A and B are shown apart, each in its own frame.
Chain A
Amino acid sequence: MLGAFAVGKTSLVQRYVKSIFSEKYQTTIGVKIDKKTVMVNQTEVDLLLWDIHGEDDFQKVKSSYVVGSSGYFIVIDGTRAETFAVGLELLKLAQSAAPAASCVFLFNKADIKSEWEITENQINEIRTMGFEVIETSAKDNLSVNEAFNHIAALMLK
C-alpha cells in the first residue's frame, strides 16, 4: 500500500482484512503487515499486505519496503489534489525497486465524490499510462474487495 499520508491505506487494509472501518485517523509508523488468504481463479493465495507509512515531507518511503513485492497499490485521496503528485513519485520509486510487480491505482474516498479535487482528466492520465484505476471507499466498503482480488489476479499472471 503506497500513497501520501492519510489517503486511507490503513483503512482499506482494515476494511479488506477485518471488515472494519474507523473514522479515527491513526498514522502508520514504519510498516504494518496483515495477511489474508483469498481464492483467485480456484487458487488459494496468501496475500501479505504491507501497509507502508504514508509519504510526506518528513517521512519518505524507502525503496527497500517495495523490493521483492509482487504487486502494489498506489492510493490517491480523491479529495486532496496534492496526493496525486505524491502517488506519481511513489510510482517511480516502486517501478525502480520492483520493476516486475503489478500496479493498480486506487482513488479512495469515493463515498464523498462531490468533494473530490482530483479531476477526471487526472484519472484518465493514469489510465493512459496503462494502469488499472479503481475508485474505492473504505468507509462504504466500495470496491475494496474487488481491488484486492484484482491485484491478486494480476500478480498471479
Chain B
Amino acid sequence: MSEGVKRSVGINPMSAGQMTELRRAITGLDKEEFQRLSDLVQNPELFSEEISLLLPLSIKKLFDKGEIDIESLRGLVEQVLEQSVKQNPRSLANILFPIMMPAIRKAVAEDITKMVDTLNTSLEYGFSLKRMGWRLQALFSGRKYAEIVLSHAYVFKVNQVFLIHKSTGLLLHQVQDADLQQTSDADMVSSMLSAIKDFVQDSFQRGSDEGLDTIKVGNFNIWMEQGPHAIIAATVEGNAPGELRLIMKEAMEAIHVNLSYELNNFQGDTEVFNIKDRFLQNCLLKEKKEVKKKPPYALTAILAALLVALGYWIYMGVDENQRFDHLIKTINSLPGVLVTDSYKQDGLFIVEGMTDPEVGDFNSLVLNQGFDSDAVRFQMEEFISLDKQIVLKRANRLLTPPDSITLSVKGDTLLATGNADGEWIRFAENRAMAITGVSFFQMQGNVIHSRHQPEPMMEQLERSVLAIENYYFVFEFGEVQLDSLQKEDFDLLITEVKTVLNFDFNQDSIPAIEIISHTSFSGNPEANSAKAQQRADRFIDFMIAAGIPVEVLIPKVVFIEDANDGLPVRSVSFKVKYVTPASL
C-alpha cells in the first residue's frame, strides 16, 4: 500500500515518523496498539484468548436483549451432554458428584425417616381387621394406602402452623386448629423457632441445606420445613405420619411460587400472607384417636350373671307357684278338705280353708311338692265332713272292727261285711249311730257265736286299748276346749278308759293312760313345750272331771318331728301303759 501511495501521489517517501502520524490519524491507534491488533489477527491462540474475555459478557447481553433464549440453547446443551455421556460417562459423573451426593443423601435420609415414621405409626394398629379393611378400601378406591391410613388411622393433631420469614425470623402468618384453646404468642414462638434454627445451624456448622427438621419434646413435636425464603413450622401432637412432611413441602413450594416477590421484598407487611393462607390450612391435619372400646367383659359378665340370676329367680318363682298350685289342687281334691283361699305373704305360702280331723295333716304332701314344712302355713278350720270316705275312716277309727269285718258306707248307712262275734256287733250297733254321717248300721255276714263263749277278756281289753290309742283331739292355738263333736269322741274315750281301768288283772302292774300333747320345734321349742304341757294338764282336768282317777293319768309332751306318728301339732293323743302301782 505504501508503494501505491508513493506512485499515485508522486511525493517523497514518508519518514517512519510521518507514517506513524498518518496511521494514528486514520485508525486512532498508536503503533503499539496497532501491532497488538495485528498480532491478534495473525495469531489464533492470542485472538481466542482475547475473545474469551468478551464472550461471556456478549452472551449475557444477548440474553438480556432476548436475541438468545434458553429454548434455542437447550437442544445444543442436551446434545453435548448426550455426546459426553456416550463417550465417557465417568467424566460427567465426576462433575456431578459434589452436587448429586448431598442431594441423594438427603433424599434417602428423608425417605428413611418417612418410612420409619410410617412404620412406627402403622405398628400401632398391627394386623387388625380394620387395617385389612383399609387395604381393601385403597385397592377398590384407587387411592394410595397411605392416604387411607392418613384419613383413618393416624393418631395425631397439627395444632398450629407458622409461616416464618427466614432472614428476619418474623412471623408472616399462622393458622391453628379451631379446637385449640390456649396458644402462645405466635410472634414470639416464631422468633424462638428462628433462634433455635440459627443456634443449631451455627453450633453444628451445618450448611443451609441441612437445617433443623424436627424439635421433639415428649409427645409434642415441631416439624420445620425450610424453603429459600421462608420456614413452615407445624406444632404436632402425637405420632404424625411421614406424609405430613410431604404436605408441608408442597405448601412450602406453593408459597414460594405464589408469593415469591413478597418473600423477596418483605418489609414487614404480612397482609398478603393472610390472604393466601390456604397453603398453611392444608397442613392443619388431625386424626382423632379412635377410642378403642374394649369389650366390657366385667360388665357383660355382671349382666350375664344378673340375667342368669333373674332367669333363675323367675324360673324358681314360676316353678314354686306351679308346685304350690299343684299342692292346692291335691289338697282340695282330698275328701274332707275345702280350701277357701291360698296366697303368698311375707315369703310364706298361706292356705286357708276347712278340714275334717280325720284328714290328718298335709306335711307329706307339702314335702312331696318340694317345699319345706315351714314354707306352707295352713290356717284350716275344723269341720265334720260327711264325705263317705271320711265317714268310713271315722267309723273304722271308732269301731275298731276285727280283721274279718270290712266296713263300707252306702248313703247314710254303715255296712259291716264279714264275720264278727256278737259282742262286736252289739258294740258296733250301739256306737255306729253316734258316728257323724251314719244314720243306720247294717251287718252283712255271719255272726260268730264263738260257741256262745264270751269273748276272751284279754281280747276285749286289747280292743279297748287300741280304741283309746286311736283317739286324738286337735286344739286351736292357746285353747283347750272341746267342741260338741269332740265331746262325743271324749265320752267314747272315757268309756274305753274306764273299761281298761276296771279290768281286773290280778297282776303286779296296773294300766295308766299317757296324755300325749304334741308340739313342734318350729319357733321357740321351749315355749312350745310349756304350752304343750299346759294343754296336757288341761286335758287331764277334763278326764278327772269325767271320773278318771288322777293317779293313772300321766302327761307327756312330744315334738311331732320326733314322734313321727303322723299326728298334727297341738293335738292330744293317748297311750295305755302298764305300770307298777308304786310308780304312780
Binding site for B on A (CB under 8 A): 30-31, 33-35, 46, 48, 50, 62, 64-65, 67-70
Contacts and interface: CB of A to CB of B under 8 A. Distances in A.
B195 A30 contact: yes
B58 interface: no
B199 A69 contact: no
Interface stretch (B163-171, B217-225, B485-493, B546-554): B163-171
A48 B189 CA distance: 10
A65 B188 CA distance: 14
Contacts of B202: 62, 64
Q: Kindly name the residue among B167, B170, B198, B268 whose own CB sees the greatest number of chain A CB atoms within 10 A.
A: B198
Contact of B188 (A34, A62, A67, A68): A34
Interface in B150-207: 165-170, 185, 187-188, 191-192, 195, 198-199, 201-202
A35 B195 contact: no
A62 B198 contact: yes
A48 B168 CA distance: 11
Contacts of B169: 48, 68
A114 B266 CA distance: 46
Contact of B195 (A46, A50, A70): A50
8 contacts: A31-B195, A35-B188, A48-B187, A50-B191, A65-B195, A68-B169, A68-B170, A69-B168
The 5 tightest CB contacts between A and B, nearest first, are: A68-B168, A64-B198, A31-B195, A62-B202, A68-B167
A129 B107 CA distance: 50
A33 to B, nearest CB: 4
Contacts of B166: 68
Interface in B290-318: none
Nearest to A68: B168
Contacts of A31: 192, 195, 199
A48 B198 contact: no
Contacts of A35: 185, 187-188, 191
Contacts of B195: 30-31, 33, 50, 65
A50 B188 CA distance: 10
Q: Kindly name the residue among B166, B169, B192, B268 whose own CB sees the greatest number of chain A CB atoms within 10 A.
A: B169
A30 B188 contact: no
Contacts of A34: 188
B188 A33 contact: yes
Contacts of A65: 195, 198
B475 to A, nearest CB: 102
